[in-house]
Amino acid sequence: MADGGFVRLPDGSVVVALTLPRPEGPGRVRVLVHARNRARALTRLRNAGLRSVYLRGNASPPTPDAVTAVLHHPEGMVWRGSPEDLTEPWQPVAALLRLARALPS
Protein backbone atom coordinates (compact mmCIF):
# COMPACT_ATOMS: atom_id res chain seq x y z
CA MET A 1 0.00 0.00 0.00
CA ALA A 2 1.21 3.52 -0.71
CA ASP A 3 0.56 7.02 0.50
CA GLY A 4 -1.12 8.95 -2.26
CA GLY A 5 -4.10 10.58 -3.80
CA PHE A 6 -5.61 11.75 -7.05
CA VAL A 7 -7.18 14.73 -8.74
CA ARG A 8 -9.87 14.62 -11.43
CA LEU A 9 -9.25 16.94 -14.37
CA PRO A 10 -11.96 18.89 -16.26
CA ASP A 11 -11.85 16.40 -19.17
CA GLY A 12 -12.69 13.51 -16.79
CA SER A 13 -9.19 12.00 -16.70
CA VAL A 14 -7.21 11.73 -13.45
CA VAL A 15 -3.69 12.28 -12.17
CA VAL A 16 -2.72 9.79 -9.46
CA ALA A 17 0.17 10.50 -7.10
CA LEU A 18 1.77 7.78 -4.97
CA THR A 19 4.66 7.85 -2.53
CA LEU A 20 6.40 4.48 -2.77
CA PRO A 21 9.49 2.83 -1.24
CA ARG A 22 12.61 3.61 -3.26
CA PRO A 23 13.47 0.49 -5.32
CA GLU A 24 17.24 0.94 -5.16
CA GLY A 25 17.61 1.66 -1.44
CA PRO A 26 16.20 3.39 1.61
CA GLY A 27 13.81 6.29 1.29
CA ARG A 28 10.75 7.02 -0.79
CA VAL A 29 9.89 8.33 -4.25
CA ARG A 30 6.84 10.22 -5.49
CA VAL A 31 5.32 8.80 -8.68
CA LEU A 32 2.67 10.53 -10.83
CA VAL A 33 0.62 8.99 -13.59
CA HIS A 34 -2.03 10.45 -15.91
CA ALA A 35 -4.82 8.15 -17.14
CA ARG A 36 -8.53 7.95 -17.99
CA ASN A 37 -9.41 6.77 -14.47
CA ARG A 38 -7.80 5.66 -11.20
CA ALA A 39 -7.91 1.96 -12.02
CA ARG A 40 -6.20 2.54 -15.38
CA ALA A 41 -3.52 4.70 -13.71
CA LEU A 42 -2.66 1.91 -11.28
CA THR A 43 -2.68 -0.63 -14.12
CA ARG A 44 -0.22 1.54 -16.07
CA LEU A 45 2.15 1.56 -13.07
CA ARG A 46 1.83 -2.19 -12.57
CA ASN A 47 2.48 -2.81 -16.27
CA ALA A 48 5.56 -0.58 -16.05
CA GLY A 49 7.02 -2.86 -13.38
CA LEU A 50 5.79 -1.44 -10.07
CA ARG A 51 3.89 -4.55 -9.05
CA SER A 52 2.26 -3.99 -5.66
CA VAL A 53 0.77 -0.54 -6.16
CA TYR A 54 -2.55 0.29 -4.51
CA LEU A 55 -4.34 3.54 -3.72
CA ARG A 56 -6.49 3.78 -0.63
CA GLY A 57 -8.16 7.13 -0.08
CA ASN A 58 -7.04 10.57 -1.12
CA ALA A 59 -4.76 11.66 1.72
CA SER A 60 -1.98 13.09 -0.44
CA PRO A 61 -3.27 14.34 -3.82
CA PRO A 62 -0.87 15.82 -6.37
CA THR A 63 -0.11 19.52 -6.26
CA PRO A 64 -1.03 21.75 -9.22
CA ASP A 65 2.67 21.93 -10.19
CA ALA A 66 2.93 18.14 -10.16
CA VAL A 67 -0.18 17.84 -12.32
CA THR A 68 1.36 20.24 -14.82
CA ALA A 69 4.59 18.21 -14.86
CA VAL A 70 2.87 14.91 -15.64
CA LEU A 71 0.53 16.46 -18.23
CA HIS A 72 3.50 17.89 -20.14
CA HIS A 73 5.44 14.61 -20.15
CA PRO A 74 4.93 12.53 -23.32
CA GLU A 75 4.52 9.24 -21.42
CA GLY A 76 2.29 10.68 -18.70
CA MET A 77 4.33 9.01 -15.92
CA VAL A 78 7.02 10.78 -13.90
CA TRP A 79 8.80 10.43 -10.55
CA ARG A 80 10.82 12.49 -8.10
CA GLY A 81 13.41 11.00 -5.74
CA SER A 82 12.71 13.30 -2.81
CA PRO A 83 8.95 13.81 -2.44
CA GLU A 84 9.40 16.80 -0.11
CA ASP A 85 12.03 18.57 -2.27
CA LEU A 86 10.01 20.74 -4.63
CA THR A 87 13.15 21.92 -6.46
CA GLU A 88 14.10 18.44 -7.66
CA PRO A 89 13.08 17.89 -11.29
CA TRP A 90 10.55 15.25 -12.34
CA GLN A 91 12.02 12.34 -14.31
CA PRO A 92 10.49 9.69 -16.58
CA VAL A 93 9.39 6.49 -14.81
CA ALA A 94 11.66 4.52 -17.16
CA ALA A 95 14.67 6.03 -15.34
CA LEU A 96 13.36 4.74 -12.00
CA LEU A 97 12.83 1.27 -13.43
CA ARG A 98 16.35 1.24 -14.90
CA LEU A 99 17.72 1.99 -11.42
CA ALA A 100 15.74 -0.88 -9.95
CA ARG A 101 16.91 -3.35 -12.62
CA ALA A 102 20.56 -2.28 -12.21
CA LEU A 103 20.58 -3.47 -8.59
CA PRO A 104 22.45 -6.69 -7.87
CA SER A 105 20.09 -9.54 -7.01
pLDDT attached to residue 16:
94
pLDDT band at 97 (very low <50, low <70, confident <90, very high): confident
Q: What is the 3-state secondary structure (H, E, C) of the chain?
A: CEEEEEEECCCCCEEEEEEEECCCCCCEEEEEEEECCHHHHHHHHHHHCCCCCCECCCCCCCCHHHHHHHHCCCCCEEEECCCCCCCCCCEEHHHHHHHHHCCCC
Q: Mind listing the pLDDT tens digit for each residue in 10-56?
A: 999 999 999 888 776 788 888 999 999 999 999 998 888 777 777 88
Structural domains in the chain (count) = 1
**Residue 20, domain extent:** 3-101
Whether residue 6 is predicted with pLDDT greater than 90 in this model: the reply is yes
Q: Mind listing the pLDDT tens digit for each residue in 50-80?
A: 777 778 888 889 999 999 999 998 889 999 8
Whether residue 1 is predicted with pLDDT greater than 60 in this model: the reply is no
